[in-house]
Amino acid sequence: MTDLVVERGDAHARLTLNRPDKRNALSVALRDAISDALDEIARDEQMKCVVFTGAGAVFCSGFDLKEFTKAAEDADFGRELWLSSDRYHDTVLRFPLPTIAAVNGPALAGGFDLAILCDLRIASTAARFAHPERTFGDVVYGPLHDLVGGAVARELTIGGRELDAAEALAVHLVGEVVEPDALPAAVEAAVARVCAAPRDVLARTKAKALQRAGFGALAPTLEL
């Protein structure tokens, strides 16, 4: 079973994190698969946007913490882990076309980061958002601050606040909340709205958004 399922439509691609038994935790292999897939999709002139979602009941539970234990014991793997992380965050954040997170369930830690690295977010009522890793490590702060502002970002990253789907909508973290069985149709409608614009216009608007947010030069994971 592949960790990442890539499906292509006429003008968009869907990337499904496919480790449901691990709550779609982002291993080195999965992060690299995402980065490779995005690099390939960016070169496809027919593509206009990418959708991320998770298999099963969880969107993504974050990085695979077992790999951090291995990294502490194996310096070579530790370097591989952080190189993979830096490439992954940069590739998702700076993907040149619009990205949509179809948040089908909990988005925690690095899974929360994946959602906020996307341009648009549509959440199921089963979604919730939290940064549990704040109790033992750094969080990805910049993209979250860009979306919800400093007050809410600090509540989530310093204060430990968690958001359910309705609260996420209220602070504009997500743009739409629907019942779980309505999520595919809501995402399909969002894809249609995005893809109504020409590819070159979408790319220019995405570039403007990144520039306005201050995401110009590559930054390592722990500096985001």
Annotated active-site residue 133? The verdict is: yes
Note the pLDDT of residue 219: 75
Query: Order of strands across the sheet with 4-8?
Result: 4-8, 12-17, 49-54, 99-103, 120-124, 176-178
Confidence band, pLDDT 50/70/90 cuts, at residue 203: very high
Query: Order of strands across the sheet with 128-130?
Result: 107-108, 128-130, 163-164
Number of domains into which the chain is organized? 1
Percent share of the chain, pLDDT over 70: 99
Q: What is the C-alpha separation between 50 and 45, in angstroms, rounded?
A: 13
Mean pLDDT of the region 141-165? 97
Given the residues 7, 73, 80, 133, select the one marked as catalytic.
Answer: 133
Phi, psi of 67 (to 5 degrees): -70, -25
Note the pLDDT of residue 1: 78
pLDDT in tens, 28-78: 999 999 999 999 999 999 999 999 999 999 999 999 989 888 888 888 888
Mean pLDDT of the region 168-187? 98
pLDDT in tens, 72-96: 888 888 898 889 999 999 999 999 9
For 146, the domain range is 4-223
pLDDT(18) > 90: yes
Closest CA to 54 of 190, 144, 183: 183
- What letter represents residue 217's amino acid? A
Reported as type and span, the H/E element at residue 19 is none
Q: DSSP letter at 12?
A: E
pTM above 0.75, yes or no: yes
CATH number of the domain to which 65 belongs: 3.90.226.10
Mean pLDDT of the region 105-118? 98
